[in-house]
């Protein structure tokens, strides 16, 4: 793999997909739990929820909590230890971000195989932070007594509960954009599944 | 475990919960009825079993991080939720009331003195007051003021074996729940006689309820009728239907 340093490593790919599946389960079961006592004047449609009833939703939510935290911890440890996190997600200079935003607005932003553009870096590192906060707020409303410092840090149980909901909204927003873009540029999807991009394979052919 | 009986007032709420009871119970109860629940994935017995296993693991983690020395935050009287919400597995119209002078708390299990207790006996003991946040498994919460006798004091009086694993609470509204001994001995776990500085009203569990601010609402039984100290896993009304047993905050 050393000759192709910019393709996602096996650890990255496995933790990405385990984390993605866990997040889908977290969202569906979280909506089930939300529906038991809605914060806002609407509920999620039953077809979009997981678990069948509140008890089922909770069972799924806490099962996926473990796989999300596990895959997330492995991803971060691996990313830090291998330097990939810093290499791939380190923010670009502001002018590069503005340039890429301008390109994206004109639908001219291309995916350079193997390196993330300024917008990707911002979105991916941003969603990592949001997921970490979502887990932390979730833990704080699950254990407001045993993890009192967390509940305190988020402004108490009621505010932490609302933050947990708001963070879910950000994650869903990211997922919609992320999935759409991955489908528009399928080579990234192949990369995250097989560890190499179809285009890269072509380029690797001896000439 | 006593199953809730379906009577006149309960029929509507029981029907609403019929679907729920198919979920996360034993695989045997599913069968053809699984079609009704509308969720194909967790009707699969193997998935239910896996979820139950993970829930058992989560409960062990909850017990592990529980500390008898860590107390729930207490609030000031001005922060209380008014009116405090009524909540049970039935509607408010179906609250059952007992004659408080004839009420007795039954005592059984691994204790040296099984004589039933009257309210006057509890009134004679030292009272503890707490203004804490009651958190429902549904997500809502409310701050209330409860006072009464520490459960640990009562367990001492009846000569309970505090090495036993569980304390089970039976209620005269056919509710039941049970807790771990560690939580039973927590200083904020109290047997409530008063709510908001007045005798506990029927709405909130007269004549006696158990208040445990380190656990979710469904682990705080109202309309108390019996206390049993035991090593045999007692389960509970909601726990038997799929809520996690530890239910800690």
Put simply, whether A146 touches B (Cβ < 8 Å) is: yes
- Do B242 and A55 make contact, defined as CB atoms within 8 angstroms? yes
Chains A, B: CB contacts within 8 A come to 102
Q: What is the DSSP letter of A26?
A: H
- With tokens 């291309």, the residue in question is A110
- pLDDT, one tens digit per residue, over B187-242 is 999 999 999 999 999 999 999 999 999 999 999 999 999 999 999 999 999 999 99
Assigned superfamily of B73-241: Oxidoreductase, molybdopterin-binding domain (3.90.420.10)
ipTM above 0.90, yes or no: no
The domains of chain A are located at: 8-87, 94-201
Q: How far apart are CA A61 and CA A139, in angstroms?
A: 12
Q: Are A100 and A117 in contact (CB under 8 A)?
A: yes
Does A63 lie at the interface with B, CB-CB under 8 angstroms? yes
Least-confidence region, from A116-125, A132-141, A162-171, B116-125: A116-125
**Residue-wise pLDDT tens digits, B36-90:** 344 555 667 889 899 999 999 999 999 999 999 999 999 999 999 999 999 999 9
d(CA A27, CA B146): 36
Which residues from A are below 8 Å from B241, CB to CB? 55
Task: Supply the mean pLDDT for chain B.
Answer: 88
Say yes or no to pLDDT of B21 above 90.
no
Supply the pLDDT for residue B216: 98
Position A188 scores a pLDDT of: 81
Per-residue pLDDT at B25 = 43
Question: Taking Cα atoms as reference points, which of B171, B173, B200, B168 lies closest to residue B184?
Answer: B168
According to the model, what pLDDT value does residue A207 have? 39
Give me the pLDDT at residue A184, please.
86
Domain boundaries, given as residue ranges, for chain B: 8-64, 73-241
Identify the residue with better confidence: A207 or A170: A170
CB spacing of A59 vs B54 below 8 angstroms: yes
* DSSP type of residue A46: G
Q: Do A56 and B241 touch (CB under 8 A)?
A: no
Antiparallel, parallel or unpaired: β B224-230 and B106-109: parallel
Q: Are the Cβ atoms of B138 and A145 closer than 8 angstroms?
A: no
């Amino acid at each position: 793999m050393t000759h192709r340093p910019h393709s996602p490593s096996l650890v990255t790919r496995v933790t990405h997909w385990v984390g993605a599946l866990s997040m889908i389960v977290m969202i569906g079961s979280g909506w089930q739990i939300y529906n038991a006592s809605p914060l806002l004047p609407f509920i999620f449609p039953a077809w979009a929820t997981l678990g069948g009833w509140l008890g089922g939703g909770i069972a799924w939510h806490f099962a996926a909590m473990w796989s999300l935290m596990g895959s997330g911890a492995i991803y971060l440890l691996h990313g830090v230890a291998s330097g990939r996190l810093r290499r791939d997600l380190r923010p670009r200079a502001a002018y590069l971000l503005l340039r890429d935003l301008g390109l994206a607005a004109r639908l001219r932003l291309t995916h350079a195989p193997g390196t993330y553009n300024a917008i990707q870096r911002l979105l991916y590192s941003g969603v990592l932070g949001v997921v970490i906060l979502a887990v932390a707020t979730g833990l704080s409303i699950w254990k407001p007594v045993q993890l009192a410092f967390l509940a305190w840090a988020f402004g108490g149980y009621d505010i932490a509960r609302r933050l947990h909901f708001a963070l879910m909204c950000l994650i869903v927003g990211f997922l919609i954009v992320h999935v759409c873009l991955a489908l528009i540029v399928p080579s990234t999807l192949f990369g995250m599944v097989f560890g190499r991009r179809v285009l890269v394979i072509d380029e690797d052919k001896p000439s | 475990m006593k199953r809730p009986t379906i009577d006149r007032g309960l029929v509507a709420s029981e029907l609403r919960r019929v679907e729920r009871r198919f979920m996360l119970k034993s695989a045997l109860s599913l069968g053809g009825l699984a079609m009704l629940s509308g969720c194909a994935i967790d009707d699969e017995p193997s998935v239910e079993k896996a979820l139950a296993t993970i829930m058992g693991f989560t409960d062990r983690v909850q017990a592990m991080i529980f500390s008898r020395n860590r107390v729930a935050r207490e609030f000031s009287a001005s922060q209380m939720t008014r009116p405090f919400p009524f909540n049970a597995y039935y509607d408010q119209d179906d609250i059952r009331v007992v004659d408080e002078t004839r009420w007795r708390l039954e005592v059984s299990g691994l204790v040296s003195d099984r004589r039933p207790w009257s309210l006057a006996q509890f009134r004679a003991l030292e009272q503890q007051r707490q203004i804490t946040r009651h958190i429902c498994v549904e997500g809502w919460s409310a701050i209330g003021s409860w006072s009464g006798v520490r459960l640990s004091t009562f367990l001492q009086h009846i000569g309970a074996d505090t090495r036993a694993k569980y304390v089970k609470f039976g209620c005269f509204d056919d509710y039941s729940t049970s807790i771990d001994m560690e939580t039973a001995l927590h200083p904020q776990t109290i047997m409530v006689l008063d709510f908001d500085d007045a005798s506990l009203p029927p709405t909130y569990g007269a004549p006696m309820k158990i208040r445990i601010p380190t656990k979710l609402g469904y682990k705080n039984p109202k309309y108390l009728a019996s206390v049993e100290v035991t090593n045999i896993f007692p389960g509970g009304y909601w726990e038997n239907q799929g809520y996690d047993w530890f239910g800690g905050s």
